[in-house]
Amino acid sequence: MPKDGQGSSNAFVELHFDGQKFRTTIKEKDLDPFWNETFYFNVSNPDDLHNLTLEAHVYNSNKTINSKSSLGKVRIAGTSFVPYSDAVVFNYPLEKGSIFSRAKGELGLKVYLTDDPSIRSSAPLPEMASSSSYSNLHSSQSELPSQKIEDYVPNTLVNGKKGSRRTFYNLSNSNNQRQQPHSVPSQQPIIYGVDQMRSEPQAAQVGRMYASSSSQPTDFTLRETSPFLGGGQVVGGRVIRSDKQSSIYDLVEPMQFLFVRVVRAHDLPSKDVTGSLDPYVEVKLGNYKGVTNHFEKNQNPEWNTVFTFSKDRMQSSVLEVIVKDKDMVKDDFVGIVRFDLHEIPTRVPPDSPLAPEWYRLEDKKGEKQKKGELMLAVWIGTQADEAFSEAWHSDAASPVDSSASSTHIRSKVYHSPRLWYVRVNVIEAQDLVAQIGNQVLKTKPVQSQTMNVLWNEDLMFVAAEPFDDHLVLSVEDRVGPNKDEVLGRVFIPLATVERRADDRIVHSRWFNLQKPSATDIEEPKKDKFASRVHLRVCLDGGYHVLDESTHYSSDLRPTAKQLWKPPIGVLELGILNADALTPMKTRNGRGTSDTFCVAKYGQKWVRTRTITDSLNPKYNEQYTWEVFDPATVLTVGVFDNSQIGDKGSNGHRDLKIGKVRIRISTLETGRVYTHSYPLLVLHPSGVKKMGDLHLAIRFSCTSMVNMMSLYSRPLLPKMHYKMPLTMVQLDMLRHQAVNIVAARLSRAEPPLRKEVVEYMTDADSHLWSMRRSKANFFRLISVFNGLFAVGKWSKEVCMWKNPVTTVLVHVLFVMLICFPELILPTLFLYMFLIGLWNYRYRPKYPPHMNTRLSCADSVHPDELDEEFDTFPTTRAPDLVRMRYDRLRSVAGRIQTVIGDIASQGERVQALLSWRDPRATVIFMVFCVVAATVLYAVPLQLLIVMSGLYAMRHPRFRHKLPPAPLNFFRRLPARTDSML
């Protein structure tokens, strides 16, 4: 904002943080100053960082009177500070410095934390005790602690340890050039409309039929339960505490396990003449046994492996820990340690872990051996034990199959990679091809007689941290049909690409092209290949990268962590058990399943342990997520593990059993929801119930004010509205994001396979389905059921079907018209009373999948076969032709409805367009008469007369349509111009 009286300002910035104050240089006569100065703040108490605030005050300097006036300020809470790797330049809008001041413009800051001990705090700023010290700012910079970004690039993060030295940075853009504004091509989003049915009474009839049949079979509905959880019994959504102290695992049923930690062995006796020993340990309890890895020629091995045995499956009262020598023919016995289960201690967290002890090995007769000791820790605990997630589980392995102790059966927590949108703006280039990983995009070909082509086209990609990939661009010359010749390539490491969190301008750069034969990612040599390409490349962190179906998003935060808001609550999920699962494989002549559950919310995925050979598995595992927005969805899926046992007909693809979706906003705060959810899956033969999943869910709110304020904020980050992406771009980018997440999670141990990720994210929800189309149409009709009911009631009032009701409506109508100020208050009071009345009938259960709503229980088999067909199709040509003709028939009816709606709008336009001169004259005469009548007659009287005429008795009515409707239908439309 101009402040010097001459249309400009002499701006500088003062930074205040943790009792320290720094000041930039003064940029004279500049309304767009650029500093590029760095300041370092010491954090006196890192534990109190969330209570600190950085204040950046922008002032105008007045040299004449040695004073300063406020241009605005920026306040940044300590909770939004991020490590250096997540820091981007962000333009903060300036707020008022005081009540009577004004502010305009933005201040670009780059703020982050580090604990690098080589960094020293900037020199403190002396207080402005005299005017001379302030005037020195114009003449000398010796007391200004400024530094260029290029002088130091930190590579450390915040370790969060108490007492560690943290430093605060404020960096500006590394480019010293002034940012020049440029035009950004506008991208108009695709707007979807809703088609109105041609026959309104017919639509109302379909809506009533649909509403009356919306209930589904009882077997497909939710069932509320009252299980006994770790915190007590759940009754009516409240946990009735028991006498025992509640643990952190209070949403699952307590299960007892026998834990055996095999640490290491010492001075084992050898069993052969060479003195070598290949030891391993076998832990055996009844028919269940777990085996450690074996070490070759090692008499002092260290395993540090934990085995657990479910108390429900204990078949013996003696635990045997046997040391054996691995042999090609038959393993030799080395020694044994036995435990009586009645003498094993019990451990309940938060007690400290049980210390392992040395036990002397015994022989088969039970006598102590002279050599050999085994360090063990044996205790009885619950699933709240720290060793539970890394242990070998007896309920996750068959009794005699030791190979099942692989990592494919363990419970794990995964984190999706942080995804970024990569925006490549091609300014000057020839026919360009860009690639990141397996993502390939092409610009449109340009015909030019010169080697300099002006271009302005955006290409969007998805990239994941860490940025190991390179952006590869190749300039190609189209020498013939389907024949391109590569002119050169550019390799840009994504780690070096500039990041931004808003819509600020990113500076463009010229990149030298490498030779077409170059395959190495290296710097091109200018003297060998002088062609260049002009690009503007950046990582857009202001968007939320959509990797889920937009209807079931579990996270709406932008990529840049500086834009993240504090969490508003905590979501706790207890996965209890599954009942009556459908067998997915055959083992020993009977049907069985090896099931595990996957839950996804935000960037955190969790996987329970695999319960083998059970159709009624009990998991009893509890997980927690932070909630940042209530308009998000938790997804829990059940799968059959195909990575253990024999390879079935499906290969090694994990089979889907069903999933549950729960929207956070439908949950009451603090209530524990314990329901048994039916697992419904649509198969080519129809909808099928695969079993029930028993869950316990609790949503706890930490700040009710922050949560209520979210309802007034945009659903997506600001960049989605400032620089919107088209629907085509979003669909393509979502497909690439799902592939990246699936590829990253499939490399974990145990892997979360691609079919699991695609099923949890609804990757195929955008594909055509006749069933979904009909379901959406019926949903639309049900939405208008209320309007249809009002229309039917109004018609009955006008036809005097119930004279008493009609008379009362006449009285109410006249009263409201005579006192128009009561119309709106009456309307809102009526809606308030409706909401108050509906409170008695509020939903008690979270919403769940409805087969009737999805049209899954009445779908035609051929439509199901079409829905499960691959893309592109693999069906016979005759079948595809039949389906194509059916689609043409449906699309033809939709086309007719759209044409009818367009005709009504064109008739409205034809009123004054003189397309029909006689109709236009009639309408103009009507307008003059209507204006005269409205001027002479009170408006209330006209409205009363119109209402009474509309509600006149049937004996005064005629069968023919009214004259205004006849006049409107005779107006011309543009259908005469259609081919």
User: pLDDT of 879-935, one tens digit each?
Assistant: 888 888 888 888 888 888 888 888 888 889 888 888 888 888 998 998 899 888 888
User: pLDDT of 689-745, one tens digit each?
Assistant: 999 999 999 999 988 888 888 888 898 999 999 999 988 899 899 999 999 999 999
pLDDT beyond 80 at 963: yes
Q: Please state the φ and ψ torsions of residue 657, each to the nearest 5 degrees.
A: -105, -30
Distance separating the N- and C-terminal Cα atoms of the chain: 59
Between 820 and 204, residue with greater pLDDT = 820
One-letter amino acid identity for 825?
P
Distance of CA 868 to the CA centre of its chain: 26
Which of the four pLDDT bands, split at 50, 70 and 90, describes residue 521?
A: low
pLDDT beyond 80 at 262: yes
The C-alpha atoms of residue 747 and residue 832 are separated, in whole angstroms, by 54
pLDDT beyond 80 at 350: no
pLDDT of residue 854: 81
pLDDT of residue 697: 94
One-letter amino acid identity for 213?
S
Q: What's the mean per-residue pLDDT of the chain?
A: 80
The C-alpha atoms of residue 263 and residue 307 are separated, in whole angstroms, by 11
Across the strands, what pairs with 318?
340
Give yes or no for a contact between 503 and 479, defined as CB atoms under 8 angstroms apart.
no
Mean pLDDT of 471-500: 83
pLDDT of residue 439: 83
The 3-class secondary structure across 556-607, one letter per residue, is CCCCCHHHCCCCCEEEEEEEEEEECCCCCEEECCEEECCEEEEEEECCEEEE
Give the least confident one: 361-370, 371-380, 448-457, 660-669.
Answer: 448-457
pLDDT of residue 190: 32
Which of the four pLDDT bands, split at 50, 70 and 90, describes residue 872?
A: confident
Distance of CA 442 to the CA centre of its chain: 29
pLDDT of residue 651: 64
Between 852 and 190, residue with greater pLDDT = 852
pLDDT beyond 70 at 157: no
Segments of 465-531 assigned E as strands:
470-480, 483-493, 499-500, 509-512
Which of the four pLDDT bands, split at 50, 70 and 90, describes residue 275?
A: low
Give the least confident one: 524-538, 587-601, 632-646, 803-817.
Answer: 524-538
pLDDT of residue 121: 76
Which of the four pLDDT bands, split at 50, 70 and 90, describes residue 200?
A: very low
**Residue 396: exposure state from Cβ atoms within 10 A (0-12, 13-18, ≥19):** buried
For 47, residues 6+ apart whose C-beta sits below 8 A from its C-beta are 162
3-class SS of residue 495: helix
pLDDT of residue 579: 92
Which of the four pLDDT bands, split at 50, 70 and 90, describes residue 169?
A: very low
Give the least confident one: 177-191, 237-251, 307-321, 702-716.
Answer: 177-191
For 703, residues 6+ apart whose C-beta sits below 8 A from its C-beta are 566, 568, 569
Nearest-5° Cα angle at 189, 184 to 194? 165
Which of the four pLDDT bands, split at 50, 70 and 90, describes residue 242?
A: low
Q: What single DSSP character describes residue 961?
A: P
Which of the four pLDDT bands, split at 50, 70 and 90, describes residue 573?
A: very high
The DSSP secondary structure of 300-317, one letter per residue, reads S-EEEEEEEEEGGG---S
pLDDT of residue 939: 79
Between 111 and 525, residue with greater pLDDT = 111
Of the chain, the percentage scoring pLDDT greater than 90 comes to: 25
* Nearest 10 degrees: Cα torsion 204, 210, 211, 212: 110
Mean pLDDT of 335-360: 88
User: pLDDT of 40-58, one tens digit each?
Assistant: 998 888 888 888 999 999 9
Which of the four pLDDT bands, split at 50, 70 and 90, describes residue 875?
A: confident
Token pair recorded at residue 349: 């967290």
The DSSP secondary structure of 862-927, one letter per residue, reads HHHHHHTS-SS--S-HHHHHHHHHHHHHHHHHHHHHHHHHHHHHHHHHTTSS-SSHHHHHHHHHHH
Give yes or no for a contact between 628 and 568, defined as CB atoms under 8 angstroms apart.
yes
User: pLDDT of 608-623, one tens digit each?
Assistant: 989 888 899 999 999 9
Q: Please state the φ and ψ torsions of residue 905, each to the nearest 5 degrees.
A: -65, -40
Between 905 and 407, residue with greater pLDDT = 905
pLDDT of residue 775: 83
Across the strands, what pairs with 320?
284, 338
pLDDT of residue 160: 37
pLDDT beyond 90 at 228: no
pLDDT of residue 973: 86
Mean pLDDT of 143-148: 39
pLDDT beyond 70 at 329: yes
pLDDT of residue 212: 46
Mean pLDDT of 317-346: 88
Of the chain, the percentage scoring pLDDT greater than 70 comes to: 83
pLDDT beyond 50 at 374: yes
The DSSP secondary structure of 751-770, one letter per residue, reads ---HHHHHHHHTTTTTS--H
